[in-house]
């Protein structure tokens, strides 16, 4: 009996151990099923995601290589602007009575900085117009050279916010290749390089957030407003001093020129598409500006109140609110208050219709305008001129 009891005792222990092992194993399986391990989670947060047998890269890995190839061609631009100021007593009749007009003039000097990039080995540089606007002296610092170069302004365009500079060097200079901004897609990675806050060759990385953005930017120092129609929006950080620097694709090519940041929002910067610059680059270098068709009128749409005031039958047409002196419009006899109804037999419904027709015209082309003036209609011929650079 004692032998049999000892045998049952051993069997009970063995069964209990087996049952406990099964419970533990089942618990481990259930935990791993419902709560994947940290190593499994980490696999989805690395640089790749495997989904439906496709590998999608979250971030580019060749950015350091691209930067090494392009950064030497990104330049630091410092401008000096000098202006004369008059002694405040100059306008006082009492002091002028005794001292005449021999008051000394003092010179005020201000400095500003920006970025640019070399586009040819012989020293042509592309930047923003607002970076060098009004400057009496422009100095360019190139990486690898101990002293800055004195730059010559070759060409500028206010509306496109573009400027071409030239520096002379005994050595061939590094330069950047211009890409095709039309081929870039929303979501493509881009690299912005510039000199924000005098921190030279600062690199920021992001993606193209949108294309074709319209934007009006008023320059605080001059009060002038630029109206852009086709900007690239990016979340790559663009700060003061980045202006004029390149926005670069992962091919190492320039696809935009950094130009503005939205001060009211984080992560919203804008760049001029490089294709816009390529269209006018040769003209800027050869002539110093960009030729645009122009007749010299300021226009506004016709509201119901204006239609009633001018005894018009409808709100179609464009009202001339101002005629630029010595412009083609003034020479043709157009006046403030005239309403443009047709141009070359094309009906004008709103002010932008006139702008579109003129911008698509050629310089020296004749436009025949049907206008309404003082209760009657008449035809006026205008010869399209070249718009002066602001």
Which position among 112, 115, 181, 243 bears the catalytic label?
Answer: 243
Which position among 157, 161, 338, 353 bears the catalytic label?
Answer: 161
Residue 16 CB neighbour total at 10 angstroms: 10
The DSSP secondary-structure symbol of 387 reads: P
**CB 374 within 8 Å of CB 320:** no
Active site (annotated) includes residue 355:
no
Which position among 130, 181, 327, 353 bears the catalytic label?
Answer: 130
What is the rounded CA–CA span in Å between residue 320 and residue 337? 5
CA distances from 327 to 360, 365, 373 (A): 18, 15, 20
Q: Which of 221, 193, 257 shows the shortest CA–CA distance to 79?
A: 221
Active site (annotated) includes residue 169:
no
Task: Provide φ and ψ at 90, rounded to 5°.
Answer: -60, -35
Cα–chain center distance at 178: 16
User: DSSP secondary structure string, 159-210?
Assistant: TTTEEEEE---SSPPP---B--GGG--TT-EEEEEE-GGG-TTEEEEEEEEE
What is the rounded CA–CA span in Å between residue 42 and residue 52? 18
Residue 63 CB neighbour total at 10 angstroms: 15
Helices (H) then strands (E): counts for the chain: 9, 23
Active site (annotated) includes residue 243:
yes
Beta bridge partners of 341: none
Q: How many residues does the chain have?
A: 390
- Given the structure tokens 């259930």, which residue do they identify? 30
Annotated catalytic sites, by residue? 130, 161, 243
């Amino acid at each position: 009996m004692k032998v049999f009891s000892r045998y049952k005792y051993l069997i009970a222990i063995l069964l209990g151990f087996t049952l406990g092992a099964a419970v533990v194993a089942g618990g481990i399986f259930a935990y791993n099923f419902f709560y994947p391990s940290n190593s499994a989670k980490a696999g989805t947060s690395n640089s790749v995601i495997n989904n439906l047998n496709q590998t999608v890269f979250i971030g580019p890995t060749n950015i350091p290589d691209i930067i090494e190839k392009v950064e030497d061609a990104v330049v630091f631009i410092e401008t000096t602007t000098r202006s004369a100021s008059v002694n405040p007593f100059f306008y006082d009749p009492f002091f002028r009575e005794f001292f005449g007009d021999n008051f000394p003039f003092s010179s005020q000097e201000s400095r500003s900085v920006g970025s640019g990039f070399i586009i040819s080995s012989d020293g042509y540089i592309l930047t923003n117009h607002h970076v060098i606007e009004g400057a009496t002296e422009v100095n360019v610092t190139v990486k690898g050279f101990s002293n800055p170069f004195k730059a010559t302004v070759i060409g500028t365009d206010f509306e496109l916010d573009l400027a071409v500079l030239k520096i002379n060097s005994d050595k061939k200079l590094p330069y950047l290749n211009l890409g095709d901004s039309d081929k870039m897609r929303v979501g493509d990675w881009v690299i912005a390089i510039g000199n924000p806050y005098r921190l030279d060759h600062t690199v920021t990385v992001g993606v193209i957030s949108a294309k074709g953005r319209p934007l009006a930017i008023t320059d605080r120092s001059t009060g002038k407003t630029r109206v852009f129609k086709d900007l690239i929006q990016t979340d790559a950080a663009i700060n003061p001093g980045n202006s004029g620097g390149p926005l670069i694709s992962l091919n190492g090519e320039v696809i935009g020129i950094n130009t503005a940041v939205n001060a009211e929002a984080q992560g919203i910067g804008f760049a001029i598409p490089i294709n816009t610059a390529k269209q006018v680059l040769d003209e800027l270098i050869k002539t110093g500006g960009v030729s645009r068709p122009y007749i010299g009128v300021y226009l506004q749409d016709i509201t119901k109140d204006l239609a009633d005031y001018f005894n018009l039958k409808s709100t179609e047409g464009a009202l001339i609110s101002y005629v630029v002196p010595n412009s083609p419009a003034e020479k043709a006899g157009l006046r403030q208050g005239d309403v443009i109804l047709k141009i070359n037999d094309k009906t004008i419904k709103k002010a932008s219709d006139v702008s579109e027709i003129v911008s698509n015209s050629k310089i020296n082309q004749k436009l025949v305008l049907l206008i309404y003036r003082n209760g009657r209609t008449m035809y006026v011929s205008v010869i399209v001129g070249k718009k002066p650079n602001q």
